[in-house]
Amino acid sequence: MNSVSKSLWPLLLGISLLFTTFGLLKAAPSAQQWQSLNHSLVEEHILPRYRMLQNSSARLAASTQALCLQPELRQLEQVQSDFHQTMDAWQAVQHIQFGPIETLMRNFSMQFWPDRKNLIGKQLSQLLQAQDPHTLSVGYLYKASIGVKGLPALERLLFSGTLADVENNSYRCQLSQTIAAYIAENSLATLTEWSDDYSHSIARAGSNESDYESHQEAAVDMMKSLVEPIEAIRDQKILRPLNDGGQVRPRRTESWRSQRSLRNIQLNIASLKDLYSGTTNSLDSLLREQGRAPQADNISILFNSIEAQLTTVQAPLVDRLSQAETVKQLLQISNALQQLDRELSTEMITLDIQLGFNSRDGD
């Protein structure tokens, strides 16, 4: 080896090591890493949330039935409280838009929103006017429009009337009872199918026992559940009521009748944060294993910042949206969500996750 070669050898070795290290940092996660992540997300994030939804909706169905048997103010307040608990549970799992929740369009049956053409109002009015006893069965709701059988329809019945409406209109109360029973039945079916079959399909990805060809393919649905809702929250729950700088539209906010629009967003962000970093094997830890610690830190900082900003917004939004300070705060949160969306989307590329078509486009 001549002197020139000897002098270049340390440099060439350094370059070689640099590229080797860079390649290791950029390598896609292994099948085992994806399998571990999927297992944690199913067992620690998804299933507990569906159990909460099933439990809370069962209580709502029972208290609504009790209200119709004994229409008292105390019982109406209990039903409204149980509604809030059920909506809390739904908002905490609303981002999971794959698997059994898609069966029979359960996701839209649970919550048809945004309702741009007031489909719920029109169809509920028709039912209340006709008062057909044949419509007071869960079986009927399976065939009925999505506008009259979910949480938004129940919200109208429970929060737009008075105790006198319950006392004097047995059909209205019985319809509420039927819708609550339908929600509980669908919640139980979704949990059962996740527990019995779908979780097994994810665990056995790549085998003949699964619909997924690989653990990475199963992880795509998980990652879509993290990334796609951020845009939906920003566009539908924040910017749409702000009306693009025009006159604000408070009644475009989600769940405005029960005055929980802001709470919904807070629950959504908390759930996405948990999906990102709250499980034993998480996306946050996976990014760090792949040499992306600074990027993981940035994402965590954004989640924490958005949560902190949301605590400064005063509720209910349906009343506060007309105030300039509230609009300013929501626009700042919107910008932070956009940045979070960009950060997460970039990391999907580094992990070789192809999100593909956004299932929420066109909503």
Pick the closest to residue 179 from 125, 146, 141, 144 (CA basis).
141
User: For residue 20, is it within any domain?
Assistant: no
User: Token match 């475009």: residue?
Assistant: 252
Give the pLDDT score at 114: 96
User: For residue 314, is it within any domain?
Assistant: yes
Q: Give dist(CA 287, CA 265) in Å, integer.
A: 26
- What is residue 316's three-state secondary structure? coil
- Helix, strand, coil % over all residues of the chain, rounded to 5: 75, 0, 25
Helices vs strands, H then E, count in the chain: 18, 0
Angle between helices 151-159 and 170-193 (to 10 degrees): 150
Q: How many domains does the chain have?
A: 1
- Mean pLDDT, consecutive 10-residue stretches, the chain (363 aa), reads 51 45 61 98 98 98 96 96 98 98 96 96 96 97 95 97 84 97 98 97 97 97 98 98 94 98 98 98 98 98 98 97 97 98 97 78 44
User: For residue 64, is it within any domain?
Assistant: yes
User: For residue 45, is it within any domain?
Assistant: yes
Give the pLDDT score at 221: 98
Which 8-state DSSP code applies to residue 246?
Answer: S
Give the pLDDT score at 358: 60
Give the pLDDT score at 8: 55
User: For residue 19, is it within any domain?
Assistant: no
- Is 279 in contact with 230 (CB distance < 8 Å)? no
User: For residue 357, is it within any domain?
Assistant: no
Domain range holding 310? 29-350
User: For residue 23, is it within any domain?
Assistant: no
Burial class (CB in 10 A: 0-12, 13-18, 19+), 117: exposed
User: Token match 């006198």: residue?
Assistant: 164
How would DSSP label each residue in 17-66? HHHHHHHHHHSPPPHHHHHHHHHHIIIIIIHHHHHHHHHHHHHHHHHHHH
Angle between helices 324-350 and 293-311 (to 10 degrees): 160
Residue 254 sits in a domain whose CATH number is 1.20.1420.20
- What is residue 140's three-state secondary structure? helix
Give the pLDDT score at 6: 52
Q: What is the largest CA-CA distance in the chain?
A: 102
Those residues with Cβ within 8 angstroms of residue 3's Cβ, 6 or more apart along the chain or in another chain = none
Pick the closest to residue 154 from 103, 66, 80, 209 (CA basis).
80
Cα-to-chain-centroid distance, residue 28: 27
Give the pLDDT score at 20: 37
User: For residue 141, is it within any domain?
Assistant: yes
